[in-house]
């Protein structure tokens, strides 16, 4: 346990919002070897998930634990970490961290990482210490500490540099998971957002949870990070929340979209977006569901092996090990259906444009024409002559008997 009497106070003081009010706290100079990373830090949520999947529980030895987390903090944002490290080396620590009396950092993991590295490199004794507020952990609930963390993150002018998927996982922990601490309304207040935006984000998070269940990897959030699923999931959400999708078609649409995310390569976000009109057309959706029935079953069967393989084209991107013949078949069927839908839409476009043009002409107010200037009337007359010529041209091309 850390006690304020052990450490040298600095001349710095800082304000924190805690327990609903602003308080002024002293800042102390604390040896970095007394501190421990916060394993619940949202910035590395998927990395922790990956470690626990491969190795089980995190190390209990403090230095092994810190070394493991340090590696993940670096991997999550090496450029940002190096910039922080260079800045601290040149100008010193400019912003105080926040530490609990049990040694866990509430805020300042990146500063702590930079100091650890500078200390190991022998850059100077001053880097063996971190300037931090010290809070007695017994005085605050887990929710109060998390609220403080949210306030510190969202009070900064620059956005927190989470990966998109790590941010989703942090939202899952706070609002959906078994140990959730917040309701949407209060969470929105703490992050200076709206309840609607928070609920929209929760819907995407639930899709992430559902997708991992679909591929038989529940809770293994690192898969989503490796597959870069934030963009595709948001496109899936836009489709599934559409009023054009009948409730009875929801599950078929969801299964087809999830299977497509497993099977597609390249710009999956763009490809899922391109499926929107096909999925939202009941006729084409039902046709696609019938065409893909056996393929979807094959994909589901492949998940039972519970395997994650590395893509041969990109060793950093994990893919679910579905036989290529199966994914190729799904992609071909989806592409053909989407292309047919695009062709039909293109065929209907002239009729739609002509109808719109007629509606616009009908909406012209004849009384308003009376008040137009002579110059405007001449321009309108010229445009109508051009319009008449275009109508005659289109009529001749139609060749209607």
Do 261 and 379 sit in the same domain of this protein?
no
Do 100 and 232 sit in the same domain of this protein?
no
Look at residues 96, 111, 142 and tell me which one is the last residue of a structural domain.
142
Per-residue model confidence (pLDDT) at position 102:
94
Exposed/middle/buried for residue 147 (C-beta within 10 Å: 0-12, 13-18, 19+): buried
Owner of token pair 């008040």: 371
- CA–CA separation, 181 vs 42, rounded Å? 14
- Within a domain: residue 357? no
Q: What is the DSSP letter of 32?
A: G
Q: What is the DSSP letter of 272?
A: H
* Closest to 189 in 3D by CA, of 177, 198, 202: 198
* CA angle 332–333–337, rounded 5-degree value: 115
- Count Cα neighbours of 318 within 13 Å in the Cβ-side half-sphere: 15
- Count Cα neighbours of 319 within 13 Å in the Cβ-side half-sphere: 21
Cα separations in angstroms, 354 against 351, 365, 400: 5, 20, 16
Domain count of the chain? 3
Do 126 and 64 sit in the same domain of this protein?
yes
Do 110 and 233 sit in the same domain of this protein?
no
Contact 47/72 with Cβ under 8 angstroms? yes
**21-31/318-320 β-pairing:** unpaired
Look at residues 142, 163, 179 and tell me which one is the last residue of a structural domain.
142
Contact 107/20 with Cβ under 8 angstroms? no
Do 342 and 382 sit in the same domain of this protein?
no
- CA–CA separation, 381 vs 311, rounded Å? 64
Look at residues 142, 167, 183 and tell me which one is the last residue of a structural domain.
142
Exposed/middle/buried for residue 178 (C-beta within 10 Å: 0-12, 13-18, 19+): exposed
- Within a domain: residue 296? yes
- CA–CA separation, 290 vs 123, rounded Å? 66
- Within a domain: residue 150? no
| Dihedral pair phi/psi, residue 135, rounded to 5° | -110, 130
- Within a domain: residue 110? yes
- CA–CA separation, 183 vs 51, rounded Å? 29
Do 274 and 393 sit in the same domain of this protein?
no
Task: Pull the structure tokens for residue 182.
Answer: 């917040």
Task: Pull the structure tokens for residue 87.
Answer: 């800045």
Collapsing DSSP to helix, strand or coil, 246 comes out as coil
Q: What is the DSSP letter of 77?
A: -
Do 347 and 371 sit in the same domain of this protein?
no
Do 16 and 136 sit in the same domain of this protein?
yes
pLDDT above 90 as % of the chain? 63
Q: Dihedral sign, CA of 83, 86, 87, 88?
A: positive
Which ranges constitute the DSSP H helices of 194-229? 195-214, 222-227
- Within a domain: residue 252? yes
- Within a domain: residue 181? no
pLDDT tens digits for the chain (401 residues)?
Answer: 899 999 999 999 999 989 888 999 999 999 999 999 988 877 788 888 889 888 999 999 999 999 999 999 898 889 999 999 999 999 999 999 999 999 999 999 999 999 999 999 999 999 999 999 999 989 999 899 989 988 887 765 444 556 889 889 999 999 999 989 999 999 999 888 999 999 999 999 999 999 999 999 999 999 998 889 999 999 999 999 999 999 999 999 999 999 999 999 999 999 999 999 999 999 999 999 999 999 999 998 888 754 444 433 343 334 467 889 999 999 999 999 998 877 776 666 787 788 888 888 888 888 888 889 989 989 999 989 998 888 888 888 887 76
- Within a domain: residue 43? yes
Do 346 and 375 sit in the same domain of this protein?
no
Do 259 and 336 sit in the same domain of this protein?
yes
Do 382 and 266 sit in the same domain of this protein?
no
Exposed/middle/buried for residue 283 (C-beta within 10 Å: 0-12, 13-18, 19+): exposed
- Within a domain: residue 186? no
Per-residue model confidence (pLDDT) at position 353:
80
Do 342 and 376 sit in the same domain of this protein?
no
Enclosing domain of residue 382: 367-398
- CA–CA separation, 117 vs 86, rounded Å? 11
């Amino acid at each position: 346990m850390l006690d304020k009497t052990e450490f040298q106070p600095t001349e710095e003081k800082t304000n924190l919002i805690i327990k609903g009010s602003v308080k002024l706290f002293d800042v102390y100079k604390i040896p970095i070897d007394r501190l421990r990373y916060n394993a619940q830090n949202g910035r590395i949520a998927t990395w922790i998930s990956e470690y626990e999947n491969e190795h089980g529980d995190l190390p209990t030895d403090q230095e092994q634990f810190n070394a493991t987390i340090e590696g993940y903090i670096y991997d999550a944002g090496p450029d940002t970490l190096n910039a922080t490290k260079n800045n601290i080396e040149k100008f010193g620590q400019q912003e105080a961290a926040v530490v609990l009396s049990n040694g866990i950092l509430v805020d300042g993991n990146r500063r702590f990482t930079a100091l650890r590295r500078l200390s190991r490199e022998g850059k100077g004794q001053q880097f063996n210490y971190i300037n931090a507020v010290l809070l007695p952990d017994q005085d605050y609930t887990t929710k109060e500490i998390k609220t403080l963390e949210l306030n510190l993150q969202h009070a900064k002018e620059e956005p927190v540099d989470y990966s998109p998927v790590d941010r989703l996982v942090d939202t899952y922990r706070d609002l959906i998971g078994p140990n959730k601490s917040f309701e949407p309304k209060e969470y929105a207040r703490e992050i200076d957002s709206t309840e609607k935006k928070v609920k929209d984000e929760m819907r995407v998070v639930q899709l992430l949870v559902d997708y991992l269940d679909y591929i038989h990897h529940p809770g293994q959030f690192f898969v989503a990070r490796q597959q870069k699923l934030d963009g595709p999931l948001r496109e899936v959400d836009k489709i599934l929340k559409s009023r054009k999708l009948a409730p009875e078609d929801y599950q078929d649409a969801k299964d087809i979209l999830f299977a497509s995310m497993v099977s597609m390569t390249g710009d999956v976000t763009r490809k899922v977006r391109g499926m929107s009109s096909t999925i939202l057309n009941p006729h084409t959706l039902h046709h696609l569901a019938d065409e893909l029935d056996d393929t979807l079953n094959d994909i589901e069967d492949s998940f039972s092996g519970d395997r994650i393989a590395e893509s041969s084209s990109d060793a950093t991107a994990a893919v679910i090990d579905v036989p290529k013949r199966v994914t190729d078949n799904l992609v071909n069927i989806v592409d053909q259906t989407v292309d047919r839908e695009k062709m039909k839409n293109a065929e209907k476009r002239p009729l739609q444009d002509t109808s719109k043009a007629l509606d616009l002409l009908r909406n012209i107010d004849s009384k308003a024409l009376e008040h137009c200037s002579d110059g405007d009337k001449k321009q309108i007359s010229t445009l109508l002559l051009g319009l008449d010529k275009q109508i005659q041209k289109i009529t001749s091309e139609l060749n209607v008997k």
